[in-house]
Amino acid sequence: MAEQTALEPVDFVVVANRLPVDRKSDADGNSVWRTSPGGLVTALEPVMQEHHGAWVGWHGATDEPLDPFEYSGYQLVPVPLSAQEVEEYYEGFSNGTLWPLYHDVVAKPEYHREWWDSYVEVNQRFAEAAAAVAAHGATVWVQDYQLQLVPQMLRALREDLRIGFFLHIPFPPVELFQQLPWRRQIIEGLLGADLIGFQTAGGAQNFTRIARQRLRLDTHRESITLPSGRTCRAAAYPISIDARGFETLAQSQPIQQRARELRHELGDPEVIFLGVDRLDYTKGIYHRLRAYGELVAEGVVDPAKCAFLQVATPSRERVDEYKRLRDEIDMLVGRINGDFGGIGRPPITYMHMSFPREEMAAMYTAADVCVVTPLRDGMNLVCKEYIACRSNNDGALILSEFAGAAGELRQAYMINPYDVNGMKQGMVLAMNDTVQNKRRRMRALRRQVFTHDIDTWADSFLKDLANVPSNE
């Protein structure tokens, strides 16, 4: 980690719950920095490397104020959180209330007034930190559901700023959103932005509809007029990845070699299935492994010829739903492997850990079928990473119709994760389809991902934000 620096006002500021690096303790109790989990960091890191400026965010430790420091060509501005705030703002309101509510209530959202109070307080702290580092007239880009009040709070502090907001997760239909006791405050918070980006057109429409119905605001297509006369735009900007970066990495000699080793370590199977996720109940990991287990039990998939590699990054481990999910997956994998495995031949190889980007690229390169089955997902970057790594136009992608990415990746083998038989059929088809069919599909998928990469995403959002009429 590079030197600490004095806080220089900058023209471009990203504000996100997490910094791109996370402060952890190693086995000896020493503090070390690790790459933060999740798609937001994967997507925004290359954007910051191009635009420089400052990234304001929490550094992952509790009760530890840190000075700003330089990292990868831009400034990191750590925002401290107390242990109680982590419990109430992050694990509580962000991940116990908003996360399930915004993901089709696949788990039950909990509503607690003290969680909300903490959310307000922490959002105010982030707004103040952003205001302190932004130069006059700067662009500030606020990210994701943890910080939905920041646009309005920031505007109250600094009228000169151009404020964008991007929601990385789905924005729910009005019928679900209106459960939230603090729905009005959230909408007003977001409307502090000049431009609000969503993953899909459906999310943008849900938001515009709720602004019209709840706040009685005038809306016209993507435009919402506020009582002050200012307009805010709500539109879709499907996020993506550094496709070329992934492809280059995957084509490199060490990664190709590592992919061959992986296949060998898995017992040189004819078909490798791959699942890559944060261990989250929205990802449909249980559903997918259960479907695969049934195929093995029925003898449709022969574990002597096929291997399923599932890697899951530990995530939000103190939240009850996540603890339960971990136990359920452990049990399911244990049962399938116990019932159908041979010596050195478990049907499912399951690893509950994070890997460096290089190892991920080797897994994508080795896998014949990538299985992405969320019950609901804002976008899902794993499927795009897999596609980027398939430079021979081979491999097959199974994709849930409930991932935001399904709108763009129409040539995937599309499945409904709630339909176990449909998912099993999808797996069998993806495994047995002709080489020509797979190539045709993969070529189309690659065209989409390479023409809509992370630069296209950031450029189109920032260009539209720059075109918003100035407040001055």
Task: Give the helix/strand (H/E) hosting 396.
Answer: strand 396-400
What's the half-sphere exposure (Cβ side, CA atoms, 13 Å) at 153? 22
Q: Which residues contact 436 (CB under 8 A, 6 or more apart)?
A: none
What is the distance between the alpha carbons of residues 203 and 345, in angstroms, rounded to a whole number?
44
Shortest reach from residue 203's CB to ligand F6P, in Å: 13
Q: Which is nearer to ligand ADP, 301 or 311 (CB)?
A: 311
CB of 151 to ligand F6P, least distance (A): 16
Does 170 sit near ligand F6P (CB under 6 A)? no
Give the residue with the Cβ less far from ligand F6P, 169 or 241: 169
Mask for 328-367, x = binds ligand ADP (CB under 6 A) = --------------------------xx----x-------
Residues 310 and 322: their CA atoms lie apart, in Å, by 17
**Chosen residue from 144, 222, 385, 408 binding ligand ADP by CB under 6 A:** 385
Nearer to ligand F6P, 316 or 452 (CB): 316
Phi (first) and psi of residue 348, to 5 degrees: -125, 125
437 makes contact with ligand ADP (CB under 6 A): no
Per CB under 6 A, the list member of 18, 59, 278, 438 interacting with ligand ADP is 278
Please tell me whether residue 38 binds ligand ADP under the rule CB under 6 A: yes
Strand intervals (E) in 144-222: 162-166, 195-198, 218-220
Q: In angstroms, how far is CA 421 from the centroid of its own chain?
A: 28
Applying CB under 6 A, does 382 fall inside the site for ligand ADP?
Answer: yes
- Indicate the residue type of 231: T
Q: In which element (H, E) is residue 32 found? A: strand 31-35
Which residues between 123 and 162 bind ligand F6P (CB under 6 A)?
A: 144
What part of residues 39-58 is at the interface with ligand F6P (CB under 6 A)? 39-40
Question: Considering beta carbons, is residue 167 or 259 the nearer one to ligand F6P?
Answer: 167
CB 206 within 8 A of CB 172: yes
Pick between residue 88 and residue 385 the one whose CB is nearest to ligand ADP: 385
How far is the C-alpha of 229 from the C-alpha of 433, rounded, in Å?
A: 57
User: Would you tell me how many other CB atoms lie within 10 Å of the CB of residue 268?
Assistant: 11
Nearest 5°: CA angle at 196, between 374 and 242? 55
Under rule CB under 6 A, residue 238 binds ligand F6P: no
Piece of 329-337, 379-387, 431-439, 443-451 that binds ligand ADP (CB under 6 A) = 379-387
**Can you read off the two tokens belonging to residue 228?**
């002050």
Q: Is 169 in the site for ligand F6P (CB under 6 A)?
A: yes
Measured in degrees and rounded to the nearest 5, phi and psi for residue 65 equal -70, 135
Q: Which stretch binds ligand F6P (CB under 6 A): 5-13, 32-40, 62-70, 240-248?
A: 32-40
Residues that bind ligand ADP (CB under 6 A): 38-40, 42, 276-278, 311-313, 354-355, 360, 379-382, 385
Residues that bind ligand F6P (CB under 6 A): 17-18, 37-40, 144, 168-169, 315-316, 378
